[in-house]
Structure 1
């Protein structure tokens, strides 16, 4: 996959967005996953590169819940085993004795969107619902903060400002001597290093004891093993387990041991630690019903997820909302109002640097700060009498101190049908000065200006 020019990617589960893809995509701003799981996206690299990762948390809720309910029915009545036996030409009514769901306890681990839908549907079968809450706490042991000093230098500079009034018929030039103060401020960003030492996960039982649960449904996506040898030993003998949430929540080796010993009476698995699974011991077990991750594989869910991710991206771009953002903790600072002036300043610096590339043998120095909006203070030591707002279309050129040069530039713009909105000129250094014009549109070609100026560039902010 190669996406250097794209601003956004919309993917499904089959596309892998690796660190190499992300680092090569220099313009990438958002990765939209049409679905819930983002295991196929390198979220850490995306966050480090300032890229938003977004999924569709609601798109497949109904489909996943219905598959979970189907798994419960299949385990209770051994429907897949009966189908396989019939296809083999057998008639084994006594072998596939099932159980009723009425009056049985359904334990749901994680009562989120899908868990709630499962509970609603299975209550109609007369099942009693038990809910398990997962508490995840993070203990931060070490935080180191480094703050560098802020230095302020005040320099008194006496400069000459040339005010020029341009009309169609005449050009008037006024030279005024003034004295201004330039304040240079150097700030180093605070560096914060946080080391997370311990993550603890607590399982809290609500409603009924685990020994009363006949069917346990996992509906929480956490990257830890919740069902292992210890938890299986506490369960009611013959408990049936369904996992349609995420692979790795159930210790597969422990599950196999529980199935072999009879502690677990059956398992319905739509997800695995490794997909597709290389070890087929569980898949081939006679008391296991397995599917190749079909939770969201319905026409309705796929259509809904595709529509949702497109809508969410449009809402984000238009500033309406941020829904389904996986790395919201990282991008929230970038969206904060107090951060926006600094983001604009960074963008302006980048655009000015890009525009000046190749000018003056690549050694042009500019001083930019922010005053609500980014403003330009000086170029190559030549200070502007008034700060120049870095916004709109700007024509920047260097020329000798000669009013005729300005007339020539105005003539070129007039020939191209481009209006001048504002004009700023710097102090004169060695008989030369920098000129910045805010213009209605950028010139298609700068070559007509080159005979009249020494250096010229333009940019749009």
Structure 2
């Protein structure tokens, strides 16, 4: 039983599947040759991340496919409904990377709050000749404690963000059309914990009251979720973090707001034109940047591999 992990798979997942008798192929097959490879090798399971697209044409061309798996949360690169209409199982790993993405949100928040995205660029260039100048420029940092974070999308990742924020002493407000209340369990090192109930609010209220906005929503079919009109409703000096999907935040409107000072800084892990983000985004001194690495931690990849292996074995009844 052959499995093609076209965008790679953690060793833990490979070992778990191999032990059950599967042959795991990790060769990266270009998109244009994928159908021929799957048919020639009689691949029954195709595993992807965000790089490989599994559209209707590929599904129709590969009648041997029984399972399509996404190592991660979002499945906008897979025609999920169509695949399921063809009796193909479509699986993903929604819980495996939540903590890693949430921690990256705060990496961007801390970076922007203390100008790290800019000082890390300039210190190697002029740190030995203009040290005092830079010290003065970066003297206006802010703390996260006692500030309000607005979470748009209170799914697994949004709730992880809330958990970290509460632990930092932040006020949490949230918007989600599908979730009315979330109970956040905040754990401490000595096995103690507290439960905090968060009632979601209308998006407009969250935009109005938050010092920081972080988005955890799927790709938007009808345009962006945050554009000029939404930014206008935010506090002056707000910060915006997007570790969800490119296009959720209108990049040109964001740049205008950064240039005007309406938005103090931004953190972006995802972009409109991946894998070739715009130069205006990449060069902006008020944007903390990462190349879509929200789930790219050793721990998350280990959990993703094991989760996919467990689901595949369950579906194919291999025990």
- TM normalised by structure 1 equals 0.52
Unaligned runs of 5+ residues in structure 1 are 137-202, 321-461
Which stretch shifts more, 127-136 or 50-59? Answer: 127-136
Equivalence for 2:147: 104
Structure scoring higher RCO (CA < 8 A, sep ≥ 6) equals 2
CA spacing shift, 1:233–1:319, aligned 2, 3 Å: farther
- CA offsets, 1:173-203, max 9 Å, x none? xxxxxxxxxxxxxxxxxxxxxxxxxxxxxx9
Confirm or deny that 1:125 pairs with 2:168: yes
- More helix by percentage: 2
For the residue of structure 2 that corresponds to 1:88, the secondary structure is helix
CA spacing shift, 1:65–1:260, aligned 2, 3 Å: same
Structure 2 residue aligned with 1:38, among 57, 75, 90?
75
Q: Could you tell me how far apart the structure 2 residues matched to 1:309 and 1:10 are?
A: 9
Q: Could you tell me how far apart the structure 1 residues matched to 2:314 and 2:93 are?
A: 13
Which stretch shifts more, 28-37 or 230-239? Answer: 28-37
CA spacing shift, 1:209–1:311, aligned 2, 3 Å: closer
Residues 130 and 207, structure 1, Cα contact 8 Å, conserved in 2: no
Confirm or deny that 1:51 pairs with 2:88: yes
The root-mean-square deviation of aligned C-alpha atoms, in Å, is 2.4
Q: Could you tell me how far apart the structure 2 residues matched to 1:63 and 1:207 are?
A: 28
Q: Could you tell me how far apart the structure 2 residues matched to 1:69 and 1:222 are?
A: 21
Equivalence for 2:281: 282
Equivalence for 1:263: 262
Q: Could you tell me how far apart the structure 2 residues matched to 1:278 and 1:300 are?
A: 27
Shift of residue 36, structure 1, vs aligned partner: 1.7
Unaligned runs of 5+ residues in structure 2 are 1-33, 180-199
Shift of residue 99, structure 1, vs aligned partner: 0.8
- Runs (4+) off by over 6 Å: none
Residues 269 and 289, structure 2, Cα contact 8 Å, conserved in 1: yes
Structure 2 residue aligned with 1:218, among 215, 232, 237?
215
Equivalence for 1:346: none
Q: Could you tell me how far apart the structure 1 residues matched to 2:151 and 2:207 are?
A: 11
Structure 2 residue aligned with 1:85, among 88, 100, 122?
122
For the residue of structure 1 that corresponds to 2:177, the secondary structure is strand
Q: Could you tell me how far apart the structure 1 residues matched to 2:290 and 2:270 are?
A: 8
Higher Cα Rg, which structure? 1
CA spacing shift, 1:206–1:257, aligned 2, 3 Å: closer
Q: Could you tell me how far apart the structure 2 residues matched to 1:207 and 1:27 are?
A: 48
Shift of residue 219, structure 1, vs aligned partner: 1.4
CA spacing shift, 1:35–1:206, aligned 2, 3 Å: closer
CA spacing shift, 1:291–1:227, aligned 2, 3 Å: same
Q: Could you tell me how far apart the structure 1 residues matched to 2:230 and 2:289 are?
A: 22
Confirm or deny that 1:25 pairs with 2:62: yes
- More strand by percentage: 1
Equivalence for 2:187: none
- CA offsets, 1:419-460, max 9 Å, x none? xxxxxxxxxxxxxxxxxxxxxxxxxxxxxxxxxxxxxxxxxx
CA spacing shift, 1:227–1:291, aligned 2, 3 Å: same
Shift of residue 129, structure 1, vs aligned partner: 0.8
Q: Could you tell me how far apart the structure 2 residues matched to 1:299 and 1:47 are?
A: 31
